[in-house]
Structure 1
Amino acid sequence: MKAMLLSLLFLGAAPSGPAPSSLPPEALGAPPLVDASPTAWSCTIDTLRAGKECVFEAEVPPARGANTDVESANIKLLKDASRALCSEAVSIARDGTPDPKLVAVCERKYADVVGRCGIEGNTPVVDAKGRFAPAARACYRALSSVLQDVQLMASVASTCCECAARSQCPGNGESCYAAVSRQQAGPTTLACMDERCHDACSMMLPPSASIPRQSPSRASQQHTDSAAL
């Protein structure tokens, strides 16, 4: 038994010399290997639609100066996607219920941004695989902001503004969406919504008691008094 223990100690003892290395010394100073292949996080129309974070990694040729044909192609490409993107943004936020008026608002806002997305024709806005170019970063962010704003309007203001339009409340129409979603509707509009569209607008209305009410006009008051007599 003693002999066995001694043999195990000798076998497990560390060698006296330097530990052998499986890598040559020059390997430790070699530059890291980079995988430049596209990832699943590339910025595309799909990530724009979904509002996902992404990476601008398109493979585009070097910029060769302004080119009006490329600029026009960039703008046309993004404009062609506006109808689908805006319709989906509204429909998803409303569980499949359309709102043509809000879609029109979205398309107009989207078109205003796209007009600045030609990036002067220096490079295609997307590459052959549909990935947004790094130079289109500001354009992509602006378009994403439009779609997110519209989704917010669809979620909190669409049903209310539809009712306000049917009820002929002041401040209805396209301006209603922004005013309601930002809680900037005027007192007269709020009073009308509270009276005629309370259920549809309840999520965005302040307490009824806090809504300023216009006092009846002198003529209306006189008419009421006369009727009472």
Structure 2
Amino acid sequence: MTVLILGGTAEARDLAAQLHERDVEVISSLAGRVTRPRLPVGAVRIGGFGGVEGLTAWLRENRIQAVVDATHPFAERIGANAFHAAHAAKVPLLRLARPGWQPAGADRWHWAADLEEAAALLPGLGARAFLTSGRQGLAAFADLDPLWFLIRCVDPPDQPLPRRHEVVLDRGPFRLDGERALMTEHDIDVLVTKDSGGAMTAAKLTAARELGLPVVVVRRPPRPAGAETADVAAAVEWVLKR
């Protein structure tokens, strides 16, 4: 059988490796938004499919027998396209999604529906923000002139940006001691993040808790209802039963 993994996450790479070990032919698809992506084992394609119609045709032409959507929790468009294309091509689809983060102990979390709402919350929470929501969508914060931003992302961020800012280009996993030192060095008094989940970037939440900082957390966008798991081993078993 041939399986398409919509990837770009650690879970997708793990799944590709485990299926490869079981002699399952895997094609991993990456969006191509990161300059130097971490590549999984097996065949890799980079770039879009051309919407629902393009993905539907691609599934049929390549005789794909199963699709696993293991994209980032905020990859909303490809998630919706995959759902509708798999249905149209009559190909089973599984969503592999890591669990979201949950506040604990002395956490001071403020939930936001999107980046615009997160930006609206900031002036009442702090003056020096650590912005870790990725390089896209930063225009939502561009008009907050009184605030200063430390912006961290993998590749140089899109314009426009806040007037007062510093950019740090880095890629996880991040360690607690490093996150704590970074926030202290820059006098950060509020953290902004998306609810990405997973351990690779969770240390910033622990550091914010230890430093007593408020955290603005952007909720995940909704995904179409369907088969879903948070466990890579369960995803392997699902594929093998197709």
User: TM-score, normalization: structure 2?
Assistant: 0.21
Q: Which has the higher contact order (CA 8 A, sep 6+)?
A: 2
Higher strand share: 2
Higher helix share: 1
User: TM-score, normalization: structure 1?
Assistant: 0.22
